Amino acid sequence: MAVATGRRTLYLVVLVILPVLALAAAVPALWGWGIGPRDAVIAVVMYLISIFGIAIGYHRHFTHRAFRCRRPLRIALMLAGGMALEGPVTLWAAEHRRHHKYADRPGDPHSPWRYGDGGLALLRGMAHAHVGWFYTARHRSRRQRWVPDLLADPDVRRFDSAYPAVAVLSFLLPAMAGGLWAMSWTGVWTALFWGGLVRYAVVHHVTWSVNSIAHTFGERPFTTRDRSSNVRWVALLTLGEGWHNWHHVEPSCARHGVLKGQLDPSARLIRWFERAGWAYGAHWPDPARLSARRRSSAPGTEGMPAG
């Protein structure tokens, strides 16, 4: 599917330039009046909704079908993922399924190893994997090919066509919360800034770190054909997504942090959804598969969380 130059420029402005400007504006704002407790709470709540929406909704449920869930939860997860402003779910899932199929080989939309292993080539590759691919990709993954299952779902189609409204909601929600909390227009503006602009800029760079950092640095305790890796600080910020190595072994597994000490709040939340009866049929890690794919030099897989 060809992408017109105008549209690619739009991606660049919305996805890269605006968030960086927001971050740059945040610095004097931080020194000028600082972020108050009200805006901090709103920004953190919006951050958690966005990241869980991407990790549990867009990624584990819609892209990899790691668990099934009831319709209200499915719609809520789709909306939460939409708050991250990373595009409609079909677009996201199509690119990501292609990433798994060709991971770190020709055809991968965002491999940091695209230009080679050398210092400068890797630096260029990391920039490409982090943000560059939004702009340089001359073709988007064809949705009819990669996500026919999602296109067949009327809820998903409705969400896709209502996506501009969802994007507006991502700013309207924090602004309204700030206005109602403070009962003032200042409350609206500062919450729009921190909970809207700054929050989405941070959410973007955090989620993109999985593509750039967690395919370059960190440990690889499992055998895979690609260079997916585990990076603790990325995992913390992404609520579990930075345990990327096992994820490439078994993409449909609901838990990414499968080794001892690998905190995976997204998996924990899916477990809670299961207990509440909202989610079912989750694929939890199989200890036999774990040890079979473990690199021989690595220590044992004891202490694996149950799910």
**Shortest gap between Cβ of 252 and Zn ion (angstroms)?**
9
Stretch that binds Zn ion, among 143-151, 221-229, 283-291, 296-304 (CB under 5 A): 221-229
Half-sphere exposure of 303 (CA within 13 A, CB side): 8
> Helix (H, G, I), strand (E, B), or coil: what is residue 56?
helix
Given the complex with Zn ion, which of 228 and 301 has the nearer CB atom? Answer: 228
Q: Write out the binding residues for Zn ion, residues 12-71 only, by CB under 5 A.
A: none
Nearer to Zn ion among residue 187 and residue 218 (C-beta): 218
Q: Which is nearer to Zn ion, 190 or 228 (CB)?
A: 228
Encoding tokens for residue 97? 């399924």
> Residue written as tokens 């997204």?
266
The long-range contacts involving 131-138, CB below 8 angstroms and separated by at least 24 positions, are 131/15, 131/16, 131/208, 133/109, 134/8, 134/11, 134/12, 134/15, 134/16, 135/8, 135/9, 135/11, 135/12, 135/16, 137/3, 137/8, 137/109, 138/2, 138/3, 138/8
Q: In the window 74-93, what residues touch Zn ion (CB under 5 A)? A: none
- Minimum Å gap between C-beta 247 and Zn ion is 6
CB 285 to Zn ion: min, Å: 15
Provide the minimum distance between the beta carbon of 209 and Zn ion in the complex, in angstroms, as a whole number.
11
Cα angle 102, 252, 134 (rounded to 5 degrees) comes to: 45
Min. distance of Cβ 264 from Zn ion in angstroms? 14
- Shortest Cβ distance from residue 133 to Zn ion (Å)? 13
Nearer to Zn ion, 170 or 229 (CB): 229
| Nearest Cα residue to 110 out of 94, 91, 96 | 96
Return the number of the residue (145 or 225) whose C-beta is nearest Zn ion.
225
Annotate each residue in 223-262 with x if it binds Zn ion (CB under 5 A) or - if it does not, as one string.
-----x----------------------------------
Q: 77, 67, 63, 64: which is closest to 281 by C-alpha? A: 67
Interface size with Zn ion, residues (CB under 5 A): 1
The continuous run of DSSP H or E covering 104 comes out as none
> What residues make contact with Zn ion under the rule CB under 5 A?
228
